[in-house]
Amino acid sequence: MRGVGTVIVIGMVLLLGTIAGSAQKRGGDAKAAALKNPVPATKASVTAGTRAYGRNCRQCHGFRGKGDGPLAPTNPRPADFTDAKWEFGSSDGEMFTLIWNGVQDVPESEMKPMKGTLKETDVWNIINYIRTLGPKTGQ
């Protein structure tokens, strides 16, 4: 059983390494969409995601995820997580890739890479929290 866990972890690391090198594009990314969230959306994960979001995301995305935080730029505005529009893809893998690598397809975007700032588990927890804010999208 321990060997199976090791194989899964190695597989996730390899997949993340492949995806981490790719830039997120408008309209989504099939390779990023293939990445599955390894962190179950439990109450503990959502609570941890709420805390991590509060420390790292709310300044621009707002307390309720509407893109209206006190430091939110005006052009382009940060994503509103409560609506059904997901410009860079709506799957957990696409969200992870966007948070991890930042928005590289839009030079004016202030969404910088969180790789090096957050742990991978923090990003997955934040995604689980964001899922509680708005309509269900393609998970």
For 35-83, the pLDDT digits (tens) are 999 999 999 999 999 999 999 999 999 999 999 999 999 989 999 999 9
pLDDT in the model for residue 10: 46
pLDDT digits (tens, 9 = 90+) for 99-113: 999 988 788 889 999
**Residues 23, 95: Cα–Cα separation, whole Å:** 12
SS3 at position 54: helix
Residue 79 Cα to chain centre, angstroms: 11
Phi-psi map region of 28: left, alpha, beta (phi>0 left; psi -120 to 50 alpha): left
Write down the pTM of the prediction. Answer: 0.78
- Let me know: does 56 contact 114? Beta carbons within 8 Å: yes
- Let me know: does 52 contact 101? Beta carbons within 8 Å: no
SS3 at position 94: helix
Domain ranges (residues) in the chain? 2-33+42-130
As a whole number of Å, the CA-based R_g of the chain is 15
Out of 3.40.720.10, 1.10.760.10, 1.10.3720.10, 1.10.490.10, select the CATH number for domain 2-33+42-130: 1.10.760.10
